[in-house]
């Protein structure tokens, strides 16, 4: 799969996804005509990074300890200092290899270094390949709040080789698939049915099934992002599960990972929406998440409606105690409901 997406604000972004396609990465990066390449990578994929850095002819490879704690303004500053040390100029391309935390941090740093240098994202987690590295949102956490500081800036290239997922442990592998389920649940009934059929193969990490899921994620996400780059309209559909999911992450002090938080959030939002989400849609989402082996039970210490409501309303527009939230009107169709603290409490009971 090799597609180009045209954006109104940020020119062109290319998405290349496949199996065993790493040998094509140097040519794809060279096509951006870089004046120097710097690789930043998660330490967890160091052997792969060393190989790719050599093949890319990178002038440096900067290791980062991935995980939510790397998404900090101070870490963006350190990365910028490394870029300066490596004499990165406006023409330098920053290639980021890692999960969503590394691609968020690198995308953000690339967006502000010298007012913006080109960035290539190479996701190594299912979550990053299916969501985080797609669509041009990037950023860091701040003041205990997720993604408080960030930019909208498309990567020049997203290059994903599903072989790179091989070293990922089972839990994060499964949890990343939550983002594909989320998209299909509100955007595409056919893709949802296909995911139901693929679920056993996905649960045993079959590479062909994984590639198909990543391709679906790219098609669904880029479809809404091209239509709505800065999230004024249809892109809001991608927030299904995230109103409550992000609040759960924040309340947990970022110890709850993003995938399970969104899985818990999707089901809680279906419950909070009352009769708006048909039982059939709700139970198919729950069943698919179970088939994929994702934990969807909210831990008792996080089932605190007042605390979750405070987090949920910190970064969203609340009108008269009501928070707009996208939920499925049926599988593959979305609608907006208004979350209240009362409905949230009911969903947690």
Ligand X SMILES: NC(=O)c1ccc[n+]([C@@H]2O[C@H](COP(=O)([O-])OP(=O)(O)OC[C@H]3O[C@@H](n4cnc5c(N)ncnc54)[C@H](O)[C@@H]3O)[C@@H](O)[C@H]2O)c1
Considering beta carbons, is residue 176 or 328 the nearer one to ligand X?
176
Catalytic residue among 71, 242, 282, 334: 242
Catalytic residue among 246, 257, 282, 284: 246
**314 Rama class: left (phi>0) / alpha (psi -120 to 50) / beta:** alpha
Among this protein's residues, is 316 annotated catalytic?
Answer: no
Among this protein's residues, is 179 annotated catalytic?
Answer: yes
Query: What is the nearest approach in angstroms of ligand X to the Cβ of residue 11?
Result: 19
Concatenating the DSSP letter of every residue in 174-235 gives HHHTHHHHHHHHHH-HHHHHHHHHHHHHHHTT-HHHHHHHHHHHHHHHHHHHHH-TTSSSGG
Query: What is the nearest approach in angstroms of ligand X to the Cβ of residue 328?
Result: 19
Among this protein's residues, is 142 annotated catalytic?
Answer: no
Among this protein's residues, is 147 annotated catalytic?
Answer: no
Among this protein's residues, is 191 annotated catalytic?
Answer: no
Contacting positions for ligand X (CB under 6 A): 42, 44-45, 66-68, 71, 98-102, 104, 124-125, 127-128, 131-132, 135, 137-138, 146-147, 164-165, 167-168, 172, 176, 258
Catalytic residue among 68, 138, 239, 341: 239
Query: What is the nearest approach in angstroms of ligand X to the Cβ of residue 130?
Result: 9
What gap in Å lies between CA 348 and CA 78, rounded to an integer?
41
Nearest to 40, CA basis, from 91, 99, 112, 98: 98
Catalytic residue among 235, 257, 282, 284: 235
Query: What is the nearest approach in angstroms of ligand X to the Cβ of residue 201?
Result: 20
- The continuous run of DSSP H or E covering 288 comes out as helix 279-291
Among this protein's residues, is 41 annotated catalytic?
Answer: no
What gap in Å lies between CA 251 and CA 294, rounded to an integer?
20
Among this protein's residues, is 137 annotated catalytic?
Answer: yes
Query: What is the nearest approach in angstroms of ligand X to the Cβ of residue 179?
Result: 6
Considering beta carbons, is residue 121 or 344 the nearer one to ligand X?
121
Nearest to 17, CA basis, from 264, 215, 275, 298: 215
User: CA of 238: how far to CAs of 180, 247, 279, in Å?
Assistant: 10, 16, 21
Catalytic residue among 41, 75, 137, 284: 137
Among this protein's residues, is 239 annotated catalytic?
Answer: yes
Copy the structure tokens of residue 199: 């679920």
Considering beta carbons, is residue 103 or 343 the nearer one to ligand X?
103
What gap in Å lies between CA 78 and CA 113, rounded to an integer?
11
Catalytically active residues are 115, 137, 179, 221, 231, 235, 239, 242, 246, 258
């Amino acid at each position: 799969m090799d597609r180009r997406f045209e954006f109104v604000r940020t020119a062109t972004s290319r998405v290349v996804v496949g199996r065993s396609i790493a040998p094509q990465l140097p040519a794809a990066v060279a096509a951006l005509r870089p004046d120097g390449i710097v690789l930043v990578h998660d330490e967890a994929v160091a052997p792969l990074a060393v190989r790719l850095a050599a093949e890319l002819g990178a002038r440096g490879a900067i290791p980062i300890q991935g995980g939510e704690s790397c998404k900090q303004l101070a870490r963006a500053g350190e990365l910028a200092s490394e870029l300066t040390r490596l004499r990165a100029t406006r023409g330098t391309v920053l290639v980021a290899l890692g999960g969503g935390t590394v691609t968020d941090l690198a995308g953000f740093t690339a967006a502000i270094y010298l007012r913006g240098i080109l960035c290539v994202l190479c996701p190594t987690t299912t979550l990053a390949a299916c969501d985080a590295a797609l669509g041009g949102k990037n950023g860091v956490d701040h003041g205990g709040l997720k993604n408080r500081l960030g930019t909208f800036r498309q990567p020049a290239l997203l290059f994903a080789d599903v072989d790179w997922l091989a070293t990922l442990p089972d839990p994060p592998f499964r949890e990343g698939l939550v983002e594909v389920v989320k998209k299909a649940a509100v955007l595409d009934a056919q893709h949802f049915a296909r995911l139901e059929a693929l679920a056993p193969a996905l649960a045993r990490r079959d590479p062909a099934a994984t590639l198909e899921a990543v391709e679906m994620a790219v098609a669904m996400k880029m479809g809404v992002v091209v239509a709505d780059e800065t999230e004024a309209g249809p892109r809001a559909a991608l927030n299904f599960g995230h109103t409550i999911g992000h609040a759960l992450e924040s309340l947990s002090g970022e110890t709850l990972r993003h995938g399970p938080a969104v899985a818990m959030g999707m089901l809680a939002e279906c419950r909070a929406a009352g009769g708006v989400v048909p039982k059939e849609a709700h139970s198919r989402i729950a069943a698919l998440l179970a088939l994929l082996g994702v934990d969807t039970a909210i831990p008792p210490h996080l089932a605190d409606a007042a605390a979750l409501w405070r987090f949920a309303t910190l970064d969203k527009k609340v009108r008269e105690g009501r928070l707009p939230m996208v939920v499925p009107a049926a599988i593959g169709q979305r609608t907006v409901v208004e979350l209240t603290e009362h409905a949230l409490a009911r969903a947690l009971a």
